[in-house]
A and B are shown apart, each in its own frame.
Chain A
Amino acid sequence: MSAIFYDHLIILDELDSEIKSVSGSREEKEELWKIVDETIHHRVMDVILSRLPRESHEEFLEKFTQSPHDRALIKYLREKIKDDVEEIIHEEIQKLKKELLADIHKKK
């Protein structure tokens, strides 16, 4: 299922392994999953809005809040940004993954 239109671009299995390896309970695991999820949404929306022309922001946000799952938003963004928005989101997620894994592996 895709609850958010960019879910198919986000696969962070390595991070999931890190969380599972230290979580002792369901609550703990879910709390950490949620923190990552929130971070993803802010980073993805940040990169989208940074590339989307300012005059289209309200229109996009309106569509997004009405149907966050709608894959047609990708098409909308592709037309407005005039670039491969899926690649842009994918790159941002890869960047986030690297940052998170590097942070986690720092001992302090």
Chain B
Amino acid sequence: MGKLPTQTYQDIDLRTPAELSEHLRNKLKLKNLQAKEAFKKKHPHADKFLQEKGVELANIRTHSAKLLGTGALAAGLLLNNPSQPLTFPSPNQIVANIIGQGQLSSLITPQEQVLGALKQILPEKPQPLDRTTEKALENLFKNEIGIPAKATLEGEHLNTTYGLIGAEQHLYRYPGDTLAQHGSGAVLDEGIAPGLGAWGYFAYSKDKLTPDLEEDEKWYAVVQTLYLPNWNQRARYLIGWYKYRKVLIVNTVNGKAVVADVADAGPAAWTGKQFGGSPEVMNYLGGPRYKKGPVIVFFVDDPENKIPLGPVDYSTIKLPQVVGQAI
């Protein structure tokens, strides 16, 4: 039997956000300790084995990221070695061919060319790419999309550049900000995140919110800085480096591209996603119902800050220069 109207007040949680957070932490921590204890008790030999190897299950993700980083580098060196026989076109050859075709075939749009190249270059499922593939993609994006984007910029590289992006909520831009002030229509459907973005408020007050900062929130991206192999050792530097760092996001299914800036950390590895996008980013990449999909994320090489945030429209056919000249 349901509760009487006079009793429903009992369902209202009157705890403060800090108390709710503490409650959640305590519950998660307790379960964590139980899991660790059970593992040690049931498999002491495995616990000992891991200790001897210097590997902690708690830090297995960081350990794996380190191994993957080293492996990708080695694979890149191997694939760049000209003594290795290649029985199929390399990603660079594929991109070179496609860029070459673009000059001849004016009926194929750059977007179609990018999609064609992505289909040939990328593995079937999102996964870390080797350096050769990443270099080929850099070439493709620069020539066809017109954005100088790099997988490794100033020595920094994400754990993966090819992964799944998920829909994020709007972020509070200043104290007192509300969802209604973030636009209208479908972009409001995701709501606003209860917590702040990775760098806190975008501005101290509404009157300090410049059009640039407004764009920063509108076109923000989320990347998994927390799983970078050396995040703990270099956190101070990396926080500064990643703050509002521009990234090029390319939807590998439809070729749509957007320049976004990093404004939050995540998603958690156990969500099955590797990146996140603001409602505007997601709406542009895949429409109002787009919640998750494969993308490439590269850093934009824009030292003079000339490339604007937002959609990159490269769908129109680039006609050879001679076409416009008078006969």
Q: A19-B24, A25-B195, A38-B32 are in contact. Are A3 and B46 (CB under 8 A)?
A: no
Report if B30 contacts A (CB, 8 A). yes
Query: Cβ of B65 and Cβ of A3 under 8 Å apart?
Result: yes
For B42, give its contact among A10, A15, A46 (CB under 8 Å): A46
Closest to B126 in A: A1
Which B residues are CB-close (under 8 A) to A39?
28, 31-32, 35
- The answer to whether residues A28 and B21 also contact, given A1-B163, A7-B272, A33-B226 and a CB cut-off of 8 A, is yes
Query: In the assembled complex, which residues on chain A have CB atoms less than 8 Å from the CB atom of B272?
Result: 7-8, 10-11
Q: Tell which of B52-60, B105-113, B149-157 binds the partner.
A: B52-60
**A12 at interface, CB cutoff 8 A:** yes
Does A74 lie at the interface of the complex (its beta carbon under 8 Å from any beta carbon of B)?
no
Cβ A38 vs Cβ B58 within 8 A:
yes
Which A residues are CB-close (under 8 A) to B212?
Answer: none
By the criterion of a CB under 8 Å from any partner CB, how many residues of chain A are at the interface? 56
Q: Using an 8 Å CB-CB cutoff, how does the interface string of A40-71 with B read, 1 for contact, 0 for none? A: 11110110011000000110010001111100
Supposing A22-B20, A100-B31 touch, asked if A42 and B39 sit within 8 A by C-beta, the answer is yes
Q: Is the CB of B159 within 8 A of A25?
A: no
Inter-chain contacts of A99 with B (CB < 8 A): 31
Q: Assuming A3-B61, A3-B64, A10-B270, is B28 touching A36 (CB within 8 A)? A: yes
Q: Is the CB of A1 within 8 A of B42?
A: no
Flag if A25 contacts B13 (CB, 8 Å): no
A92 vs B173: C-alpha distance in the bound complex, in angstroms?
40
Assess the A3–B159 pair: CB atoms within 8 A: yes
Q: What total of chain B residues lie within 8 Å of the partner, measured CB to CB?
A: 62
Please give the distance in Å from A1's CB to the nearest CB on chain B: 3
Asked if B271 and A38 make an inter-chain contact with CB atoms under 8 angstroms apart, the answer reads: no
* CB–CB A103/B25 < 8 A: no
Say yes or no: is B3 at the interface (Cβ < 8 Å to chain A).
Answer: no
Q: Which of B31, B126, B127, B196 has the most CB of A within 10 A?
A: B31
In contact, B127 and A46 (Cβ under 8 angstroms): no
Interface string of B259-270 (1 = CB under 8 A from A): 000001111111
A23 to chain B, nearest CB (A): 5
B242 to chain A, nearest CB (A): 11
A38-B57 contact in complex given A1-B128, A26-B265, C-beta closer than 8 Å: yes
Tell me the bound Cα distance from A29 to B194 in angstroms. Answer: 11
- Whether, in the assembled complex, B43 has its beta carbon less than 8 Å from a beta carbon of chain A, the answer is yes
| Contact A58/B49 with A1-B127, A28-B195, A32-B25 known, Cβ cut-off 8 Å | yes
Confirm or deny: A90 has a beta carbon within 8 angstroms of a beta carbon on chain B: no
**Cross-chain contact A37 with B38 (CB below 8 angstroms):** no
CA distance A48 to B303 in the complex (A): 49
Against B, the Cβ 8 Å flags (1 = close, 0 = not) of A89-106 are 000000010011001101
In the complex, B179 has a CB within 8 A of chain A: no
Q: Contact between B32 and A25 (Cβ–Cβ < 8 Å)? A: no
Q: Are B195 and A20 in contact (CB under 8 A)?
A: yes
Kindly state whether residue B206 has any CB partner on chain A within 8 Å. no
> How far is it, in angstroms, between the C-alpha of A16 and the C-alpha of B160 when the chains are bound?
21
Q: Does B36 make an interface contact (CB < 8 A)? A: yes
- Rank and list the top 5 A-B pairs by shortest CB-CB distance, nearest first: A1-B160, A42-B35, A68-B64, A33-B268, A26-B198
**A-B residue pairs in contact (CB < 8 Å), sample of 23:** A7-B269, A10-B272, A11-B270, A20-B193, A26-B195, A26-B196, A26-B197, A32-B24, A35-B28, A38-B32, A39-B31, A41-B58, A58-B45, A58-B49, A66-B67, A67-B67, A68-B63, A96-B31, A99-B31, A100-B27, A104-B23, A104-B24, A104-B28
The interface of chain B, by Cβ under 8 A from chain A, is 13, 17-18, 20-21, 23-25, 27-32, 35-36, 38-39, 42-43, 45-46, 49-50, 53, 55, 57-58, 60-61, 63-65, 67-68, 126-128, 159-160, 162-163, 193-200, 226-227, 264-272, 274
**Additional A-B contacts beyond A1-B128, A15-B270 (12; CB < 8 A):** A3-B61, A11-B270, A16-B270, A20-B195, A24-B194, A26-B265, A33-B269, A38-B57, A39-B35, A41-B60, A42-B32, A45-B39
